[in-house]
Chain A
Amino acid sequence: MSRLWITRRRLLTAAGLAGATLPLAGCDAFDGILQNRAPVRDVLASANGLTYRVQRLLADADRLAPEFAESEIRQGQRPNGSTDPTDEAYIALRQQDFSGYSLGVTGLVERPLRLTLTELRNMPSRTQITRHDCVEGWSCIAKWTGVPLARVLDEARVRPEARYVVFHCFDRMNLGLSGETAYYESIDLIDARHPQTILAYGLNGKPLPVENGAPLRVRIERQLGYKMAKYISAIEVVSDLSPFGRGRGGFWEDLGYDWYAGI
């Protein structure tokens, strides 16, 4: 019996000691080294480049994101981010039901374009029922209709030195003390030419509503929602992302989010 008693005493001590280690998890200890642009954070963030390269290896350029049946559309597309842009030019266009809207395609192209909504709607279209994944963690399935971005790029004839497509947007995001900045995003030419990458003007069989990005938003089905710019005003084909915003390739990227959002 004495043997048992001793191990029991030790057991209670063990429970106490084990319990005492738990509050060590208190985690403001790492706040300093994880501030945006801190060196340690940049090292950790470099794993995103690895993710990008490995996912590009695992999925061919044309490999499609899963598509769903009509029966999987069980709710409206949840709006997120800006839902009602207050930019004056945008409000003016919206009052005319976007009849005066035209999409500029500029940058490293042989033939810069200006396409009205009617012209975009008259181009070959693609309709797809896909799952929208927000970086926050939720998902929502909806039907999107639009013109494949590859068609627009082919029409404009992309120059060989081009590497990225930048989306300029009407909506401005509040940055707190540093004021407002225009939303923008960028993707590589692999995703830009992906068959499911469309400039969408239709949602669930109706014209794209303002809260979801009217008149035009991009769908990039192998990445997260923040890549899929809404309220697109112009497209610019570039070889370098550093001239835009703070140089990280997008509004959220400039605030510390990964440029490649396939994860």
Chain B
Amino acid sequence: MAAADNGTEQTDRSMSLVVRRHALVTRLTHWLWALALFFLLLSGLQIFNAHPALYVGQQSGFEFDNSILSIDATRTADGDVRGVTTFFGHGFDTTGMLGVSGPVDRRAYRAFPSWLTVPSYQDLATGRVVHFFFAWVFATVFVAWIIASIINGHLRRDIVPSGEDLRGLPRSVLRHLRFQFDHGRRYNGLQKLSYAIVLLIFFPLMILTGMSMSPGMNAAWPWLLDVFGGRQTARTIHFVIMLLLVLFFVVHIFMVFAAGPINELRSMISGRYRIDREQRQREAGR
């Protein structure tokens, strides 16, 4: 087995140990979510492009203004078409990325560029087909994960931060800022907290705000609209959590590479993970 690191800290193999870190359920749900979220994001941006504006409240203001974000293509005085993103009334020129994108000789007038949508061309019907298929995958995996994680203790042991984890957070943040990463069997406090926020807050919020946009679900569970303050607010929250999940993804991938990509990836595929011996002894002592 190739060791992940060629740095000085792990030249002595006897200092580290390979353990089974991730249960099969964790690995399986991780990759199913990764697949589902990939398609949910790109098909979601396709759907957003059909009406690239976000509002607060029950309805969309056409004769009044309750918009908080909109992405348009606007013709300037000299005949040029620019992409303009309006956020709380302030317009920003986002030509090339939002509103107007693509090669200069073949400009596309669409909110999100073609490389960020599935399909790459404008096709709301297919965007919806892809989105709702993977929404079912995503939600089913979530329910399975919650049940399995309660039963096998994953939730209590690895996800919900303990009092000790929370007290150790400042130290955990400092260590991360100094690029000192634990390679233990357990997640560190900051890790637990971020996974808990994503898995126990963002994921259910995503599912529930998605349901709030369904007129069928509005009849079945009208309380959803009361909870989120209207269908258009739910749509806005859905979009904001999407942005936060993208942010999580960027940091997540960054941390995987920073902490040793082969070791981290292996642990999420085969479950095997190389840990520091001192760390193991520290954990055993607890």
Contacts and interface: CB of A to CB of B under 8 A. Distances in A.
A26 B118 CA distance: 9
Contacts of A31: 119-121
B51 A137 contact: yes
A246 interface: no
B138 to A, nearest CB: 11
B216 to A, nearest CB: 3
Given A47-B133, A74-B64, A25 B115 contact: yes
Contact of B59 (A17, A34, A135, A139): A139
Given A15-B257, A257-B125, A55 B42 contact: no
Contacts of A8: 179
A131 B215 CA distance: 9
* Size bracket of the A interface: 35 or more
Interface string A226-261: 000000000000000000000000001001111001
Contact of B126 (A51, A76, A139, A256): A256
A6 B219 contact: no
B285 interface: no
A226 B109 CA distance: 24
Interface stretch (B144-152, B220-228, B268-276): B220-228
A26 B119 contact: no
Contacts of B257: 10, 13-15, 17-18
* Main DSSP-derived SS at the B contact region: helix
Contact of A17 (B55, B117, B225, B261): B261
B253 interface: yes
Contacts of B51: 134, 136-138
B8 interface: yes
Contacts of B196: none
A48 to B, nearest CB: 7
B254 A139 contact: no
Interface stretch (A58-66, A96-104, A114-122, A178-186): A58-66
A8 B178 CA distance: 9
Interface stretch (A169-177, A202-210, A217-225): A217-225
Given A14-B258, A18-B250, A51-B132, A64 B219 contact: yes
A263 B119 contact: no
B180 interface: yes
B74 to A, nearest CB: 20
B235 A47 contact: no
Interface string B94-111: 000000000000000000
B162 interface: no
A87 interface: no
Given A75-B61, A262-B214, 18 more contacts: A10-B258, A11-B179, A14-B258, A15-B254, A18-B253, A26-B115, A28-B119, A36-B126, A44-B130, A51-B136, A58-B217, A72-B58, A74-B61, A133-B215, A139-B231, A140-B62, A256-B123, A258-B129
Interface of A: 2-4, 6-8, 10-11, 13-15, 17-18, 21, 23, 25-28, 30-31, 34, 36, 41, 43-45, 47-48, 50-51, 55, 58-59, 63-66, 68, 72, 74-76, 78, 131, 133-141, 221-224, 252, 255-258, 261-263
19 contacts: A4-B180, A7-B7, A14-B256, A18-B250, A25-B42, A27-B114, A27-B118, A34-B119, A34-B123, A34-B130, A36-B126, A47-B136, A58-B217, A59-B216, A74-B61, A131-B231, A138-B53, A140-B60, A257-B125
Name the 7 nearest CB pairs between A and B, nearest first. A262-B216, A14-B257, A75-B63, A59-B220, A256-B125, A138-B60, A28-B120
